[in-house]
Amino acid sequence: MERLSRWLALFSKELRQIGRNRRLIVMLIIPPTLQIVLFGFALNPTVSDLKLGVLDESHSAESRELVSAMTESGSFVVYKYYLSDTEIDAAIGSGKLNTALIIPADFAKKRTAGQTATVQLLIDAVDSNTATIAGGYAARIINTLNQRILKNSSMQSGSVAQPQIPITGVSGSDSADKLPVVIQSNDIRTRLKQPSVIPRVALLYNPGLDNSWFIVTGLIGALLVLQGSIVAAASMVREKEVGTVEQLLMTPASAGEIITAKIAPVFLLLTADIALALGVARLVFGVPMLGSLPLFFVSGAMCVLSGIGIGTLISTFVGSQQQAQLMGFFVNPPLLLLSGTTTPIEAMPQWLQPFTLLNPVRHFAIISRGIMLKGSGIEILYPNLLTLLGFCILLVGISAWRFHRQLK
């Protein structure tokens, strides 16, 4: 009993100490709650509201019926109507579209004549999971449309509807087995004597539907930011714990010189990690580099500086490395989750998607995928490059300002 009473006394003392540490209580309650909410909403395997671009060269009731069928389920949303193939290609290359539907000029004529009407469906396959889902959605929608056409034709002619044939196919893909294959049978078509629509699906930028390409190109930015924040926070907080900050203030160096001297080694170290990550992506996963290598390194350097800015900012709010780790646990998982690295932004709820614009990792993921997989240049990626540069200046500036105030 005496040992138990001593243990209970020590236990109650620890509880009182924890109760007095309000910051610790907040860190133990708020971060897990917010992360459960974010993970629950963001990790959604359902993909909807895919941005669809339409090039309608038919301008007919039949083509409008097809577009309406594509959008009525909510799987696709018409982003814009385009006037040429060039505009469609530029929109997909810049990431504005997930899919594009090209309806030829003879679409209505073939439908009316009871012939097979072929349309082209272009899919941005950088995210292979979304591309596969989009292809499946299109196959189901057009199959439903074909059944509706067949039923209407049967009712008009008084005949019995024949079984529907497969209607989807893949072109330009090394993994055609992942989507249904076009069955071109003139005998069957002649026998049915019914109009139908067949999509020619082209998978762009990742014809092999290799999901590692999507994940690896996004993880590069996530690792640069997370490592930058962790290393910078630990480096800055260590000065406080050891007490060398006061010694630095006694030197002739200015506050700006002290801050830049602390940041520069971390920046150089993590910049070397860009080359390491790029080598692993290329040699291990076979990710191509179709764009500018210098542009990739410049954008990667801005991503590193953003991470260092986050880490330095964290260090100004904590007094020990343990507190820095807790703060990092609060900040870093949402950065990874809301970056589109593992889960497409389109799969997240509408109210959550605007918050991803405040994440530097998201912008670098778009840049890295654009450069490596699409061969995009500054003329396409400049919005994300400017946004990333703005994050870099803002985060480093605020963290340096707060650190400067603490030095004083």
The answer, as to whether pTM is greater than 0.85, is no
Tell me if residue 216 falls in helix, strand or coil. Answer: helix
Which range among 157-161, 240-244, 391-395 shows the weakest confidence by mean pLDDT?
A: 157-161
> Per-residue pLDDT for 307 more than 90?
yes
> Per-residue pLDDT for 372 more than 90?
yes
Stronger pLDDT, 265 or 30, i.e. the higher one: 265
* Torsion of the alpha carbons at 354, 361, 134 and 98, rounded to the nearest 10: 70
> Per-residue pLDDT for 35 more than 80?
no
What are 277-286's pLDDT values in tens digits?
Answer: 999 999 999 9
Which range among 56-65, 158-167, 276-285, 372-381 shows the weakest confidence by mean pLDDT?
A: 158-167
What's the pLDDT band for 158 if we cut at 50, 70, 90?
low
CA–CA dist 264, 249 (Å, integer): 19
Stronger pLDDT, 81 or 182, i.e. the higher one: 81
The neighbour count for residue 150, using CB atoms within 10 Å, is 18
Stronger pLDDT, 210 or 250, i.e. the higher one: 210
Stronger pLDDT, 187 or 387, i.e. the higher one: 387
Q: What is the pLDDT of residue 161?
A: 45
Q: What is the pLDDT of residue 177?
A: 42
- Mean pLDDT, residues 204-227 taken together: 91
Single out the residue of 132, 178, 185 nearest to residue 163, CA to CA.
185
CA–CA dist 245, 238 (Å, integer): 9
Single out the residue of 65, 51, 173, 175 nearest to residue 117, CA to CA.
65
Q: Determine the residue type at 402.
A: R
Element at 307 (helix H, strand E): helix 293-315
* Partners of residue 197 on adjacent β-strands: 117
Indicate the burial class of 331 (C-beta count within 10 angstroms; 0-12, 13-18, 19 or more).
middle
> Per-residue pLDDT for 180 more than 50?
no
> Per-residue pLDDT for 402 more than 80?
yes
Q: List Cβ neighbours of 391 (8 Å cut-off, separation of 6 or more).
A: 302, 306, 309, 360, 363
* Torsion of the alpha carbons at 228, 229, 232 and 235, rounded to the nearest 10: -120
Rg (CA), the chain: 28
- Mean pLDDT, residues 164-174 taken together: 43
Question: Inter-axis angle of helices 293-315 and 378-407, to 10 degrees?
Answer: 30
Stronger pLDDT, 407 or 180, i.e. the higher one: 407
CA–CA dist 378, 392 (Å, integer): 18
- Mean pLDDT, residues 99-108 taken together: 93
What are 330-360's pLDDT values in tens digits?
Answer: 888 888 888 888 778 877 888 888 989 999 9
Q: What is the pLDDT of residue 407?
A: 67
- Mean pLDDT, residues 205-219 taken together: 91
Phi, psi of 80 (to 5 degrees): -170, 150
Which range among 40-44, 121-125, 335-339, 377-381 shows the weakest confidence by mean pLDDT?
A: 40-44
